[in-house]
Homo-oligomer: A and B are copies of this chain.
């Protein structure tokens, strides 16, 4: 079995899909959590000076979605054929677009600009994405692709806390089908065990 290490800050955010997928497959991993003090010295050792980073048998890789897809294949959560994988990839990239649209407002440093952007985000962007994603989850019977569990469901559920943190809301509260996706993922025993034992962090 390969030797896995996840390098990230002491937050869930973009590292959590990796931790969920490794936990799902019962693949032991070293959950390395870097402090803000340690980071400047470590930064140059990371592929693009960023984290999360996954280390597989000593080789460091980056890009959270690419790493998640790779791990999904190792734990049996990829699609059964090219078309199923396209359905998974499409919805994951859409979830990621949604995250970026939230993040660009959440991290806006200028208060005045932020207020203006928040109006569009809350009145247009969030309702649009939630409706589309909830429709997809409804059409797929409580999953995000191919009417069965895949890494798309894991990815969405694992970063949802981060999306909720940035939007100061419970995004799936009024999206019953997305709530079902979350329930389907968090009722998996290996995932529940991970959630129970992981360090408690706000983000």
Contacts and interface: CB of A to CB of B under 8 A. Distances in A.
Interface of A: 48, 61-63, 65-67, 69-70, 73-74, 82-83, 85-86, 89-90, 92-94, 100, 104, 132
A48 B85 contact: no
Q: What is the copy number of this chain in the assembly?
A: 2
Contacts of A132: 48
Given A48-B132, A94-B48, A74 B65 contact: no
A70 B85 contact: yes
A119 to B, nearest CB: 16
B73 A93 contact: no
A69 B85 CA distance: 9
A87 B101 CA distance: 26
A86 B100 contact: no
A123 B60 CA distance: 27
Question: Chain A's interface: helix, strand, loop or mixed, by majority?
Answer: helix
Given A94-B48, A132-B48, A82 B89 contact: no
B61 A86 contact: yes
A159 to B, nearest CB: 15
A89 B63 contact: yes
Contacts of A65: 89, 93
Contact of A74 (B61, B82, B90): B82
A70 B62 CA distance: 21
Given A48-B94, A61-B86, A66-B93, 12 more contacts: A48-B132, A61-B90, A62-B90, A62-B94, A63-B90, A63-B93, A65-B93, A67-B86, A69-B85, A70-B82, A70-B85, A74-B82
Contacts of A48: 94, 132
Contacts of A63: 89-90, 93-94
Contacts of A85: 69-70
A87 B69 CA distance: 12
